[in-house]
């Protein structure tokens, strides 16, 4: 699903430059549930932005689902919309839209008919148990409910990969566990999940754990003792 070879990311600031990723080789197969961990500044978000086609590497090759991601910005945006579902720490919901409209948005970008848009969005909200709240605005929901809307939005397009950056970062531990359980369920249904976190305990809910330090992958191991969400 993901094949990265010798990826480098160099940020230029005036005259100086900073290598945020260095010689990263990474292969992730369909159906895996991977956590990427590492201390602050290690390069996790930089790596996630490249995996999610939000940014491109300075050097190296990234093949996503058989497609080379070295392409125009428009094409990259198209790949991103079709293949990736994002879940962020702060939910990134649009405040003025109802939760149904929030979940409909990615489908509208993909050009589905009005009827399909509505049906698929309702089904996705049903999957996360929010079918009774369709008309609510994000501000009328709890944090956990907002993250469930974000999960519905991420999976409504049936993406190849679900990318979650600190998905439980803003939640209390009980609500965080519910979100982790939902990610485990999605993985059990065959979805490929990549979760970024600085918290090793949260990472232990995934099946594979990759550690990033100073822009390099320093370990890549299977979680022997997976936590049960
Ligand atoms: N746009 C940018 N311009 C310059 N340097 C950057 C930029 N974005 C990130 N960096 C630098 O690259 C390094 C890696 O940043 P990154 O955001 O990937 O870390 P992170 O592992 O996600 O950290 P955190 O856990 O704090 O989110 C940091 O040293 C950061 O200062
Ligand atoms: Mg980060």
List domains and CATH numbers for the chain.
2-222 (3.40.50.300)
User: Measured in angstroms, how far is the CA atom of residue 36 from the centroid of ligand 2?
Assistant: 11
Query: Alpha helices, DSSP H only, in the chain?
Result: 44-51, 73-83, 99-109, 114-127, 143-155, 173-188, 200-203
Distance between CA 204 and CA 46 in Å, rounded? 22
Question: pTM score, two decimals?
Answer: 0.91
Q: Is the distance from the beta carbon of residue 147 to the nearest atom of ligand 1 less than 6 Å?
A: no
Q: Is the distance from the beta carbon of residue 12 to the nearest atom of ligand 1 less than 6 Å?
A: no
Residue 226 DSSP SS3: coil
Average pLDDT over residues 23-37: 97
| Closest C-alpha to ligand 1, atom 2 | 11
Distance between CA 7 and CA 13 in Å, rounded? 20
**Contact partners, residue 206, CB within 8 Å, separation at least 6:** 33, 34, 35, 193, 195, 223, 226
- Summarize pLDDT for 74-126 with one digit per residue, the tens: 999 989 989 999 998 889 999 999 999 999 999 999 999 999 999 999 999 99
Question: With 80 as the cut, is the pLDDT of residue 52 above it?
Answer: yes
- Summarize pLDDT for 124-175 with one digit per residue, the tens: 999 999 999 999 999 999 999 999 999 999 999 999 899 999 999 888 889 8
Beta bridge partners of 10: 19
């Amino acid at each position: 699903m993901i094949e990265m070879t010798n990826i480098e990311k160099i940020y230029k600031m005036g005259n100086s430059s900073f290598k945020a990723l260095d010689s990263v080789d990474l292969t992730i197969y369909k159906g895996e549930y991977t956590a990427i961990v590492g201390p602050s500044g290690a390069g996790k978000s930089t790596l996630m932005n490249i995996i999610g086609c939000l940014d491109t590497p300075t050097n190296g090759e990234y093949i996503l689902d058989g497609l080379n991601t070295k392409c125009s910005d428009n094409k990259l945006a198209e790949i991103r919309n079709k293949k990736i579902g994002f879940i962020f720490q702060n939910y990134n919901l649009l405040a003025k839209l109802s939760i149904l409209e929030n979940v409909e948005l990615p489908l509208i970008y993909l050009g589905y008919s009005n009827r399909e848009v509505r049906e698929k969005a309702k089904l996705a909200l049903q999957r996360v148990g929010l079918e009774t709240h369709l008309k609510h605005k994000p501000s009328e929901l709890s944090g956990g409910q907002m993250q469930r809307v974000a999960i519905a939005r991420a999976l409504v397009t049936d993406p190849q990969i679900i990318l979650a950056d600190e998905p439980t970062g803003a939640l209390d531990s009980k609500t965080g566990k519910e979100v982790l359980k939902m990610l485990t369920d999605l993985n059990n249904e065959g979805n490929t999940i990549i979760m970024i976190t600085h918290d090793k305990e949260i990472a232990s809910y995934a099946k594979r754990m990759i550690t990033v330090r100073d822009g390099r992958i320093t370990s890549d191991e299977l979680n022997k003792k997976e936590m049960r969400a």
